[in-house]
Structure 1
């Protein structure tokens, strides 16, 4: 027998300890379309928007859109688009039901439906969480990859695009035909200067369609940069079962999150915005300092722990942090190499921020899997590690743990862990990287050199650094001989001595 689901009818039955929408959901009108309605958006931007609506704004409802899979729609539709955000910490859990999502469209099922929704005058913001690879760009240069299969398809099929860029440009084209204004495009992906990147690839795509349209889009869109931060692990069946015991009904669309949340937004909007600052967001003139802090400290350390921890056999980040040598490594990475490559905004306490990160990584209630964080590394590490690495090389600073991190990543994409178990590498460049590993197996120096020449990730400059290649070779040799865990323990013992 199927369990009773969370929906509009069962909302009133939930226990008093659960926060639920206090407004009438029928009062909402949509002002936002969100492309890529995955777990992160539902635990972050929608969570902020829910609080703005609770405060009285009724014109910022969200229409979600999935560009690939119907999974989220199939979870949310039977629940009247209601879902829970469960904040998990070592001290316990807090549950809030979110009501601001009004509908979820599945683009491959009906591209025309999504295009029409985006062409509606009431839509003032189109936000995105489509991951790094969704921008169809070259991570090393930031330019639009015109040979990307989705881009080539979209240029030939304007009525049925596949990519976010295709939907945006053709929706704007339709708004122009209807003599309607454009909208603000709000990237909420983990990329440096995400708004500027989106603006660049958007204009490059539009130029391929029509130069006059591209000019109109320049005048009728805004692309503010943002910095987003909240750890949102994948929800498991065990999570859903535990939540059902609390709610008394089943929530198949629930998302798990840490209590901490941060959102820094460049205040550059075309036609107004929700007062997200009333819910804790920060509006600034320039996001860059905040995003570098997050990318180089939080994300950089997260990826370091993910690759090294996975290879050593640890399932979650909290498991990795429970090993003293890995915890010491994380502290050293944050305090030395990562901190050296950032400049904190005025009044920002960098030491407190580092301590917060170590505590967040140690959250045992949040089972954030190392494998999940390790996904799409070829798209992430240019932002998370290579900017810091270039800074350290130019300044003559330490590159010890950055090169260790790279060595772990190279070992990871070889698709075999320290115990000899196969790794399911989820990455758009997995095949090419596996081929490099196979061609230089058991030859650390040649392997290091071949990866540094892999321009799709490293660009063209780093291959010329003998210091970098030597350090990478040393780590690859040690990992191959001793394994990751022993290598980390030896390194930390050496650091203490």
Structure 2
């Protein structure tokens, strides 16, 4: 049982049942509930916002929609590295919809409301069906083909946005702002490109209107939010009982654990008004790009390095990895020697201080952030987390040795999935990746792996020293994973 002095309660202070939905969010996962919804909760508690959020799932997890509709609120347990915990009631999600399996009409109707000023997204990189390296919508994807053929019954987030914007275009109404909160470089620009390209399949004049009229601010979001587990749900409910929390009796079915740290940097280009999230800690800026790159390369890049090396070394969580001094030293070297030098930050940002803060956050054992979870969707994450920075280093004549180790670890992780005690690789390109990885034990095999479409743009195969390093590290990883931490 935790010391009661380390527990703090924060209950909803407003009439949640009376809130209109001024924000519609697509992608009701753990992150939005522990991040965006918490900023909105704080703003509502301070009397500085007049509307709540309607949140929808469009592909899976109808169960959470049912549970949130029953409960009306949920708990976010914010764990600080010092052991203290804030138990926060969140009621800012005032409406919940399930729009999958042909049930999209209720969401489309909600998006027609003149009260909606912002439509936000957390659908993960693969949910955009967008090839960032080519800046092209994946028109051959089955789901996108469906949305082109059936524009009024879309299945994808991009299709839903296009169908909704068509309503505003046809009636000469001011459209909502579209706010991507996913971990992609230039996420606003990428979302705009995807939406405009799909709109062009409907009507070229309509697509020009979207490009000229709709605002797509870029954002940088940061909070470590592990996937909920049965154990974490039980633990949070035990804390609620201990703290005598006055909400969600007798049991919270959908609580979320996260770290206490939270950051949100937002490009201040909104077309239909916005809440002032700066009152509760967000930063509105003219250019998000430096912040995006800092987070993607230093935090997310380190997370992926920890995930693949940690999985191979038998570590289940990020905090477990941080008990290995050699691995911690390697991660710090990656941040300061390969990631930080590629960044161009404002003068008041100290990247050494940022790196130290990340190591403290990664060491938070309360979170139980699974390495296997972070290892998911490598093909969608690694280009912006590792490869963009690697290209900067190579252009400067710097050999990205630790990035090469990371790529080797990813390859061995894919190879090991076929072992007798293997696992399923959760990646949309798994059917392509795994066979290529199996052959990647030689220069030729690694070159073929690096020339797959998801990675080819970065042309790492043209650098023999990079290829040699990857082959070298693959050999070492098969022999003794931990020996690579000091190389």
Which TM-score bucket, shorter chain as reference? over 0.9
User: Where in structure 1 do 4 or more consecutive aligned residues deviate above 3 Å?
Assistant: none
Matched, 1:42 2:43: no
Q: Displacement, 1:57?
A: 3.6
2:214 pairs with 210, 214, 221, which one? 221
Residue equivalent to 2:398: 397
Q: 1:214 to 1:294 in 2, by over 3 A?
A: same
Q: 1:327 to 1:420 in 2, by over 3 A?
A: farther
Residue equivalent to 2:364: 363
Distance in structure 2 (CA, Å) of the matches to 1:448 and 1:373: 23
In the alignment, is the contact (CA less than 8 A) between 2:77 and 2:256 conserved in 1?
yes
Matched positions, count: 470
Distance in structure 1 (CA, Å) of the matches to 2:130 and 2:106: 26
The worse-fitting range, judged by mean Cα deviation, of 58-67 and 381-390 is: 58-67
Distance in structure 2 (CA, Å) of the matches to 1:129 and 1:423: 26
SS of corresponding position for 1:18: strand
Q: Displacement, 1:296?
A: 0.6
Matched, 1:19 2:20: no
In the alignment, is the contact (CA less than 8 A) between 1:39 and 1:234 conserved in 2?
yes
Distance in structure 1 (CA, Å) of the matches to 2:43 and 2:365: 31
Q: Displacement, 1:71?
A: 2.8
Distance in structure 2 (CA, Å) of the matches to 1:424 and 1:161: 29
Residue equivalent to 2:279: 278
Q: Displacement, 1:287?
A: 0.5
Distance in structure 2 (CA, Å) of the matches to 1:256 and 1:424: 26
Residue equivalent to 2:167: 174
In the alignment, is the contact (CA less than 8 A) between 2:117 and 2:273 conserved in 1?
yes
Q: Displacement, 1:488?
A: 1.7
Residue equivalent to 2:410: 409
Matched, 1:381 2:386: no
Matched, 1:184 2:182: no
Distance in structure 2 (CA, Å) of the matches to 1:479 and 1:369: 21
Residue equivalent to 2:263: 262
TM-score, normalisation: structure 1 = 0.92
Cα deviation, 1:213-265, whole Å, max 9, x if unaligned, reads 11222233100110010000011111111222222331111111101110000
TM-score, normalisation: structure 2 = 0.93
Unaligned runs of 5+ in 2: 1-6, 242-249
Residue equivalent to 2:485: 488
Residue equivalent to 2:117: 124
Distance in structure 2 (CA, Å) of the matches to 1:307 and 1:423: 14
In the alignment, is the contact (CA less than 8 A) between 2:87 and 2:240 conserved in 1?
no
The worse-fitting range, judged by mean Cα deviation, of 168-177 and 226-235 is: 168-177
Matched, 1:198 2:199: no
Distance in structure 1 (CA, Å) of the matches to 2:399 and 2:258: 34
Q: Displacement, 1:17?
A: 4.2
Matched, 1:251 2:252: yes
SS of corresponding position for 1:209: coil
Distance in structure 1 (CA, Å) of the matches to 2:157 and 2:455: 22
In the alignment, is the contact (CA less than 8 A) between 1:240 and 1:250 conserved in 2?
no
Distance in structure 2 (CA, Å) of the matches to 1:128 and 1:357: 25
Cα deviation, 1:67-126, whole Å, max 9, x if unaligned, reads 11113202211112x011101134232110001101111112521111111111110100
RMSD over aligned CA atoms reads 1.6
In the alignment, is the contact (CA less than 8 A) between 2:8 and 2:85 conserved in 1?
no
Residue equivalent to 1:242: 235
In the alignment, is the contact (CA less than 8 A) between 1:52 and 1:279 conserved in 2?
yes
Distance in structure 2 (CA, Å) of the matches to 1:460 and 1:321: 30
Distance in structure 1 (CA, Å) of the matches to 2:232 and 2:414: 30
Q: How do residues 316-465 of structure 1 correspond to structure 2 at under 5 angstroms? A: 316-416=317-417, 421-438=421-438, 440=439, 443-459=441-457, 461-465=459-463
2:200 pairs with 196, 207, 210, which one? 207
The worse-fitting range, judged by mean Cα deviation, of 107-116 and 321-330 is: 107-116
Residue equivalent to 2:59: 68
Distance in structure 1 (CA, Å) of the matches to 2:464 and 2:8: 59
Q: Displacement, 1:460?
A: 6.1
Distance in structure 1 (CA, Å) of the matches to 2:16 and 2:51: 12
SS of corresponding position for 2:136: coil
SS of corresponding position for 1:337: helix
Distance in structure 2 (CA, Å) of the matches to 1:410 and 1:139: 22
In the alignment, is the contact (CA less than 8 A) between 1:226 and 1:265 conserved in 2?
yes
Matched, 1:102 2:94: yes
SS of corresponding position for 2:274: coil
Cα deviation, 1:137-166, whole Å, max 9, x if unaligned, reads 124323111101111000111121111110
Q: 1:333 to 1:17 in 2, by over 3 A?
A: closer
